Structure 1
Amino acid sequence: MVNSGIYEWDRTNGDHAILRWEPPADHDSDARTVPVPLHDEVNMGTLRSIAEQAGAKDFDEFCAWIKRNR
């Protein structure tokens, strides 16, 4: 896996993508793994949980980023 500071598709487990983030060498955080459902729509509670697991500090900005990057 490339250590680029972005989430990479690690594997698929049922109907979920398992994404993994490897922090850059100069980062003081541990690696993170986030399951994301492979559905056309995700309810707001699930989306909030994904944001928290991914380390998002601002949920509204997280949602705005998703809209910009669809």
Structure 2
Amino acid sequence: MKLPRNLSSYDLIRSLSRLGYQVTRQTGSHIRLKTEENGEHHLTIPAHNPIKIGTLNNILKSVAEHFDISRDELLRKLF
């Protein structure tokens, strides 16, 4: 499955909230997220519109590894 090309940081945060991620703080243009599901996991997302493809790929790769699922399965859950 292809990555969305025009995803803003706020759209990504809204999608990740389905997996239990919550905003813990924001410093400048970086937003910190945390989940307690399946162990504790932290993410830092740049507050950009749109998020660059490589950055989005690395964020989703980290989330997929945390939940022990494939990236395509994660994309189906989120989008």
> Cα distance, 1:49 vs. partner?
0.8
CA RMSD between the two structures: 2.2
Structure 2: gaps of 5 or more residues? 1-18
Aligned partner (choices 50, 53, 58) of residue 70 of structure 2:
58
Percent identity between the aligned chains?
24
Name which one, 1 or 2, has greater alpha-carbon Rg. 1
Aligned residues: 58
**What corresponds to 2:28 in structure 1?**
14
Task: Please report the TM-score for the alignment, with normalisation by the length of structure 2.
Answer: 0.57
Deviations 1:28-61 (A, max 9, x none): x420000011111111110011112223633345
- With a CA cutoff of 8 Å and minimum separation of 6, indicate the structure with the bigger relative contact order: 2
Structure 1: gaps of 5 or more residues? 24-28
Q: Which amino acid aligns with 1:40?
A: N
Task: Please report the TM-score for the alignment, with normalisation by the length of structure 1.
Answer: 0.63
State the 4+ residue runs in structure 1 displaced beyond 6 angstroms. none
